[in-house]
Amino acid sequence: MKLSNLIVDSFIQKFSEQENFCAFSLPFIFKNGSPAILNAFRHPNGTIELTDNGLNIQAFDDSIGIAGFNVVEKAREFTSNFPNIHILDQALTATTTEEDLTFDLLDYSDVIRMMIEFQPKPKSDHVTKILDQLRIVLEKRFDNLEVSPEVQGRSGGKYKFNFGSNNHMIDFAKVDKRRTNDLLRKYVDTQNHNSDLDFMVILDDLENDKYKSEQVVLADFALVKPLSQMLHA
């Protein structure tokens, strides 16, 4: 075997190959110990699709380990400087050609490196205090209240909630359109997997006058409570 092939085979581990498909583990390790994954498909029109089927995003989430931290949005932020790299259905993806493959693989690798090297800022004391206050309030309303439960969705991904009790899942959220979209996806995906689930979201109405507009959007999927009401109940 040529030395160059030996080095490449040692550097990038191929674990699956079929016609027009191959899968690799890359030489990047997330903090949870998972290697970065890359799958490649060649379509009949000649384009090449790169994807991780959500595994790198899941490894990023497990490595962060902070309830309520939006890893999908953070990964999307990392991809924003690379025109061919995207987050689609919680997977890191790219559509490229043979001519652009080298450059897009470099960009894809850069996004993975950003996820691995990212250090989240400690949660602000303000949010921590709110969650502590809500835990005390909710413990009076729900039996066996669990902090930071994880629930599997129909897609196979797992979602973190701030609190949970049996089939009741509860989140605290700042008023933000992107946060609302992420909550809706979480509700739909987890309820499609377990129809017995129901949701409560406690929206921070203390610092944002757009509470009502986000409440209307969420109300079809969850019981929406203003933070001010919960804290003074």
179 in helix, strand or coil?
A: helix
**Which residues of the chain are under the pLDDT cut of 50?**
4, 7
What is the pLDDT, as a whole number, of residue 15?
60
- Distance, in Å, from the CA atom of 41 to the CA atom of 43, rounded to the nearest integer, reads 6
Q: Tens digits of per-residue pLDDT, 112-157?
A: 999 999 987 665 667 888 999 999 999 999 988 999 999 999 888 8
Strand partners, 50: 40, 94
pTM, two decimals, is: 0.53
CB distance 147 to 138 below 8 Å? no
The fold of the 125-231 domain, in CATH, is Trna Endonuclease; Chain: A, domain 1 (3.40.1350)
- The structural domains of the chain, with segments of one domain joined by +, span 3-117, 125-231
Q: Residue 19 and residue 222: Cα distance in Å, rounded? A: 45
Phi (first) and psi of residue 162, to 5 degrees = -65, -40
Residue-wise pLDDT tens digits, 47-67: 999 999 999 999 999 998 776
Q: What is the pLDDT of residue 27?
A: 85
